[in-house]
Amino acid sequence: MTIINNNTPIYQQLADKISDDIVEKKLQSDEKVPSVREIAADYEVNANTAMKAIELLSSNGIIYNKRGMGYFVSNEADDIIRANKKKEFIENDLPKVIKTMHQLGISINEVEQEFNNYKN
Amino acid sequence: MTIINNNTPIYQQLADKISDDIVEKKLQSDEKVPSVREIAADYEVNANTAMKAIELLSSNGIIYNKRGMGYFVSNEADDIIRANKKKEFIENDLPKVIKTMHQLGISINEVEQEFNNYKN
Amino acid sequence: MTIINNNTPIYQQLADKISDDIVEKKLQSDEKVPSVREIAADYEVNANTAMKAIELLSSNGIIYNKRGMGYFVSNEADDIIRANKKKEFIENDLPKVIKTMHQLGISINEVEQEFNNYKN
Amino acid sequence: MTIINNNTPIYQQLADKISDDIVEKKLQSDEKVPSVREIAADYEVNANTAMKAIELLSSNGIIYNKRGMGYFVSNEADDIIRANKKKEFIENDLPKVIKTMHQLGISINEVEQEFNNYKN
DNA sequence: GTGGTCTAGACCACC
DNA sequence: GTGGTCTAGACCACA
């Protein structure tokens, strides 16, 4: 991944990236998350920005802190991430998409095609 | 509609609302768009914010100005709005939705249900 | 209040101070909270530090944001602050105090005296 | 007891635990304090952290060192611990608790109940 | 005017 | 080594 300069804050993109790594099992339960300084170096961002991403994940219960040892993936991480995404999808994305489809006369079949063609 | 205090700029929400009114034929071709003052009063926003929404629609060719008389829906308004929405849908919304559906294990049927249940 | 240089983070002390102002009705419901820049100037701290205090209160639902206008005291602010304090008291302070009292042989009467002598 | 990952430093929690053991006579005067290695193993902490707890107790005169034999509970241990705790209680805990009780409308009776129900 | 993001760099306690 | 706090200063979008 590269950090793209769109309107999404960098710290948010970093948190999303780490969440993705967890969902895709690149980071397992109780595995150590890269340190703030490592993240900052890897993505060439300031340590404070990396820290903010970590704080975001921590406050959501996705990672937990062992003092002086860094952050680790919590057991419930996967569930929390999925629940958050599902909530976001149901409440925001889906209604917006449905509305747009009706307005534009897009059929469910077109979406189904895209769905079936999807490669990760 | 009420103006929500989420991440979407208020002026953008206003522009979207007016666009929707045009697509839904609540505002017809060459019909007068509510004045900046009316919009500001109706939605309880700052006049500058309402003005910014009008400017956005105007710069997109969706509305046009008659000096001293206000703004009016252009003949191509519907086409422009639909084209913009379609572009947005295809390039951003759809890929994101498809990806999320796969990640969360949401089937096309669930979306179809929402689609069929849709009331404007 | 002056910001004391103990081990409590400045941003936490600032948030506590604002919470106290709310409980003591110096800040009423829907009243504007001083801006980040004002707080920073008043207490002679960096704007980022003031911002962090505001974020803390906001994430707790004690204040809410009106875009471009600043932060305002939420209606439930008082309830939330009291609930948080009560939780803190019941879960942490009280058990610790009770244990210490037993260990030191301090009677409830001594505490009662202090309680009755209390001036705000 | 388990070492909790709250704001209190782990070495401090360890020192408190050993102090408690002394006050509760689980460790008697001139009795040997568990070795740094034992403490580290028992509580699953780093040896350096355990060492820091020992140093803290030692510098307070609560335990003393016999070269090559380890640390032992000093005769004055109980007095020192009690004095420290009393100071802490009077200066910090009590005023804070009294203030919180008034703010939250907690009566002395509630505290008395907890006090009477206390089991070590 | 308002908040919000980001950088660079310092300093600290803790493990 | 780890996180965490703080400062100074910049830049931006939004109302």
B108 — pLDDT class (breaks 50, 70, 90): very high
Q: Is A20 helix (H, G, I), strand (E, B) or coil?
A: helix
Query: What pLDDT is attached to residue C120?
Result: 64
Query: What pLDDT is attached to residue A3?
Result: 64
Query: What pLDDT is attached to residue A5?
Result: 63
Chain E: positions less than 7 Å from a protein CB are 1-10, 13-15
Using CA coordinates, name the residue in chain B closest to A106. Answer: B86
User: What tens digit of pLDDT does each residue of D69-107 get?
Assistant: 999 999 999 999 999 999 999 988 899 899 999 989 999
User: What tens digit of pLDDT does each residue of A1-25 get?
Assistant: 566 667 899 999 999 999 999 999 9
Q: Are D71 and C53 in contact (CB under 8 A)?
A: no
Does pLDDT of C1 surpass 80? no
Does pLDDT of C5 surpass 70? no
User: What tens digit of pLDDT does each residue of B83-102 get?
Assistant: 999 998 998 889 989 989 99
User: What tens digit of pLDDT does each residue of D18-36 get?
Assistant: 999 999 999 999 999 999 9
| Residues of chain C above pLDDT 90, percent | 87
Q: Are A82 and A47 in contact (CB under 8 A)?
A: no
d(CA A59, CA B108): 33
The CATH number that domain B10-76 falls under is: 1.10.10.10
Query: In this structure, what is the dihedral angle of CA atoms C32, C37, C43, C47, given to the nearest 10 degrees?
Result: 130
D45 — pLDDT class (breaks 50, 70, 90): very high
Query: What pLDDT is attached to residue C4?
Result: 64
User: What tens digit of pLDDT does each residue of C79-98 get?
Assistant: 999 999 999 999 889 999 99
User: What tens digit of pLDDT does each residue of A60-88 get?
Assistant: 999 999 999 999 999 999 999 999 999 99
Query: What pLDDT is attached to residue D7?
Result: 84
Q: Are B110 and A115 in contact (CB under 8 A)?
A: no
Does pLDDT of D3 surpass 80? no
D46 contacts on A by Cβ (under 8 Å): 68
Query: Is D10-75 a CATH 3.30.1280.10 domain?
Result: no
User: What tens digit of pLDDT does each residue of B23-36 get?
Assistant: 999 999 999 999 99
d(CA B66, CA B87): 29
Domains in chain C: boundaries: 10-75, 78-117
Mean pLDDT over each residue of chain A, to the nearest integer: 93
User: What tens digit of pLDDT does each residue of C14-59 get?
Assistant: 999 999 999 999 999 999 999 999 999 999 999 999 999 999 999 9
Comparing CA positions, the residue from C77, C34, B118, C21 lying closest to residue A106 is B118
Best D4, D5, D6, D13 residue to mutate vs chain A (most A CBs within 10 Å) = D5
For C97, which of D82, D97, D112 is closest by C-beta distance?
A: D97
Query: What pLDDT is attached to residue A4?
Result: 64
C71 CB and strand E closer than 7 A: yes
Query: What pLDDT is attached to residue C7?
Result: 84
A120 — pLDDT class (breaks 50, 70, 90): low
A68 contacts on D by Cβ (under 8 Å): 46
B and D touching (3 or more beta-carbon pairs closer than 8 Å): no
Buried b (16+ CB within 10 A) or exposed e, C90-112: eeebbeebbebbebeebebeebe
| Tokens standing for residue B91 | 């390039």
Q: Is B65 helix (H, G, I), strand (E, B) or coil?
A: strand
